[in-house]
């Protein structure tokens, strides 16, 4: 499918880069962009794709949802709009391979929520984060009240959401909202280094690890340990496990085949 607001490029070894491209609106998420995002995510093959990188064009990652579209929504329409965004971001979170957010600029409202649906966030020093919805008379609508406390704790999440304040990349790093902060000109290199480090490992094992971590979100300790045990055991049914351990014992690099 040809997209109006998305740019998709494929790299080596199953690495896909997605750029949200509506710089005139700071990549604000409207229904069209959400529809394109959902179609794109649904099209990704778990065998052919190993890593997805998401970024934005221009000076924003995503500066929020499209206020011009939301301004006159009814309660029922607001419910549908929020449900759609939450559904798309959950699909991103549930992809069976790592998703990296390369946060190049403003990540506000829906943009911060999009970044939080990714597994890892690498931020440019110019990036800015926040959930400013209460200043518009609404609350975060794309699962921000769920994911932000998981990442930074309830106290900090409540402060950010209640005040609607915007924070810089260094503060986002301090509270655990992002994994690392780099100079703007080093963002691509930092993401590529992370991608290379992940690609060295067994793809099935990486995918199992992601599933295990995500499914552990709301389990108690006994359920969590049992879940890990099941995924751990499943690794031993893969050829990659045999290859990885034999390669280690023979002191040679492993040649994983994603099987």
- Comparing CA positions, the residue from 9, 60, 57, 11 lying closest to residue 192 is 11
Locate 92 and state its tokens. 């991103």
Three-state DSSP state, 26: coil
| Closest to 214 (Cα-Cα) out of 109, 131, 99 | 99
36 is catalytic: no
* Distance (Å, whole) CA 118 – CA 231: 21
The one catalytic residue in 13, 36, 69, 113 is: 113
CA gap 154, 244 in Å, rounded: 40
Q: Tokens standing for 4?
A: 């109006």
93 is catalytic: no
Q: Which residues, 6 or more positions from 87, have their beta carbon under 8 angstroms from its beta carbon?
A: 38
Q: Are 183 and 137 in contact (CB under 8 A)?
A: no
Residue of 36, 38, 93, 133 marked catalytic: 133
Contact status, residue 56 vs residue 81, Cβ threshold 8 Å: no
Where b means 16+ CB within 10 Å and e means fewer, 145-156 reads bebbbebbeeeb
Active site residues: 113, 133
């Amino acid at each position: 499918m040809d997209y109006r607001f998305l740019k998709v490029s494929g790299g080596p070894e199953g690495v896909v880069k997605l750029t949200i491209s509506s710089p005139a609106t700071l990549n604000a998420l409207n229904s069209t962009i959400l529809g394109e995002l959902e179609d794109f995510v649904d099209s990704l093959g778990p065998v052919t794709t190993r890593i997805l990188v998401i970024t934005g064009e221009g000076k924003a990652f995503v500066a929020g949802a499209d206020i011009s579209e939301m301004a006159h929504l009814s309660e029922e329409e607001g419910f549908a709009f929020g449900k759609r965004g939450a559904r798309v971001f959950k699909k991103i979170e549930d992809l069976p391979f790592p998703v990296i957010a390369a946060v190049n600029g403003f990540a506000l409202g829906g943009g911060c929520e999009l970044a939080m649906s990714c597994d890892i966030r690498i931020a440019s020093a110019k990036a800015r984060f926040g959930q400013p919805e209460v200043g518009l008379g609404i609350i975060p609508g794309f699962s921000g009240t769920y994911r932000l406390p998981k990442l930074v704790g309830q106290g900090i999440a409540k402060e950010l959401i209640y005040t609607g304040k915007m924070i810089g990349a260094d503060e986002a790093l301090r509270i655990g909202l992002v994994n690392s902060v780099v100079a703007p000109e080093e963002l691509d290199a930092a993401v590529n280094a992370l991608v290379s480090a992940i690609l060295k490992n067994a793809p099935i094992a990486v995918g199992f690890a992601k599933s295990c971590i995500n499914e552990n979100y709301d389990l108690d300790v006994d359920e969590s340990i049992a879940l890990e045990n099941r995924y751990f055991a499943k690794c031993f049914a893969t050829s990659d496990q045999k290859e990885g351990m034999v390669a280690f014992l023979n002191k040679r690099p492993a040649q994983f085949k994603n099987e």
